[in-house]
Amino acid sequence: MSIALISDPACKLHKMGDHHPEQPARLDAINNRLIASGLEMVLLNYDAPEVTREQLLAVHDESYIDLVFDSSPSEGLVWLDGDTAMNPHTLQAALHAAGAAVLGVDLVMQGKASQVFCSVRPPGHHAEHNKAMGFCFFNNVAVGALHAINEYGLKRVLIVDFDVHHGNGTEDIVAGDERILFCSSFQHPYYPGPGFSTNTPNVLNLPLPSLTDGKAFREAVIEAWLPKIEAFKPELIMISAGFDGHREDEMAHFNLLEFDYAWITRQLSQFATMSAKGRIVSCLEGGYELHSLARSVEAHIKAFM
C-alpha cells in the first residue's frame, strides 16, 4: 500500500509577517528534504481540496466560522489572537489545510493509501470550537476525525498529538466524545498554559518538564499511552505531528531528536496494523527550525515504511 503526501500551493501564501515563526518556508524546507532524500519519488502526491462548511460545522461553532470568513482582509493583516493573523490569502490556506485532513481520511478509508502526511499550514491543534489561537484557525485533525466518524461510521478514532505544546483546541473539541481517544504530550509549564488537567476518560494528557529528552519521552509514552491505545483498538489513527520539541528548535525546551519522532511513529504504525488496517493520517503542526523540521518529517514518513 502507498503513502500519500497532501499539500497545496495556497498554504504557502498565508503569511503573518516577516519575523513570525510560522512561515511559508516551513513547507519549502520539507519539500526540499523529501526531494533530496528521494522520498518524493515514492509518495503519491495530492493537492488539498477546500474543506466544506458542513465539515467545519462538525467541529466549530457557526458563529466562529462566520467570524473567520468575515475577518479575511483585502489587504494587510487582521489579528484574531495575539499571535494569529490573517492576510488576504489566509482563509484559502486554512480551508485547504483542513481539507487536506478530509482528503487524507478519504484516501485511507477508500484503500487508495495506507498512510498520509498532510504538509499544510496553518496548523490547527490550538483552534478551539469557537476560538483562533496559537497560529491556528480551523482544527485540521479534529475536522478529519469527525469526517471519519460522520462519513464512514467509525466508532474508535485515535488522535495522538506529540507537538511540544498542548493540543488545547483538539481537547476542547473532542473531550467527552467516547468515539475519540485523544493523547497529547507537551512541555509543562509552557504555552498555552493551564487547563489540561482533566478527568475526562477519553483524554490522556502527558505533561513533561523542560529539557525532557528522548529516553524520558519514550518511557513516559510507554507507561501512560501504549496500554490504553492497545485496549482502545483504534479503527483510524490521526496524528498532530508537531516537531518543535526537537533540541535544535528554540520555540520550546525539549531535547528530542529525529529518532524519537520515528520511534513514536513506529509505535503508532504497529497499532494501526493491529486494528486499523494500517490507516494513519498525519497533519503537520509545529516545527520552526527549518533544518530539524525537514529532517524530522523525513524520519516520520520513513517510519511509515
pLDDT in tens, 185-194: 999 999 999 8
Largest CA distance in the chain: 51
pLDDT-based confidence at residue 268 (cuts at 50, 70, 90): very high
User: Cβ of 53: how many Cβ atoms within 10 Å?
Assistant: 13
Catalytic residue among 14, 60, 96, 126: 126
pLDDT at 195: 78
Mean pLDDT of the chain, nearest integer: 98
The predicted model gives 37-44 an average pLDDT of 97
Convert the pLDDT of each residue in 130-162 to its tens digit. Answer: 999 999 999 999 999 999 999 999 999 999 999
- Written as one string, the DSSP assignment of 257-292 is -HHHHHHHHHHHHHHHHHHSTT-EEEEE----SHHH
How far lies 23's CA from each of 11, 90, 170, 173, 229, in Å? Answer: 10, 12, 22, 26, 34
pLDDT at 280: 99
- What top-level class would CATH report for the domain 3-304? alpha beta
Backbone φ and ψ for 242, nearest 5 degrees, come out as -105, 130
- 126 catalytic, yes or no? yes
The predicted model gives 3-32 an average pLDDT of 98
- DSSP H or E segment with residue 299: helix 290-304
How far lies 64's CA from each of 126, 132, 255, 277, in Å? Answer: 14, 9, 36, 35
Answer for the pair 93, 99: CB distance below 8 angstroms, yes or no: no
How far lies 58's CA from each of 12, 36, 86, 148, 239, in Å? Answer: 26, 39, 23, 11, 19
Convert the pLDDT of each residue in 109-132 to its tens digit. Answer: 999 999 999 999 999 999 999 999
* Residues 6 or more apart whose Cβ sits within 8 Å of residue 100: 6, 7, 8, 48, 118, 120, 140, 283
The predicted model gives 166-183 an average pLDDT of 98
Left, alpha or beta for 277 (phi > 0: left; psi -120 to 50: alpha)? left
Convert the pLDDT of each residue in 189-230 to its tens digit. Answer: 999 998 788 889 999 999 999 999 999 999 999 999 999 999
Say if residue 267's pLDDT is above 90. Answer: yes
Convert the pLDDT of each residue in 52-81 to its tens digit. Answer: 999 999 999 999 999 999 999 999 999 999
pLDDT at 196: 84
pLDDT at 194: 82
Task: Locate the domains of the chain by residue range.
Answer: 3-304
Say if residue 244's pLDDT is above 90. Answer: yes
pLDDT at 172: 97
pLDDT at 197: 81
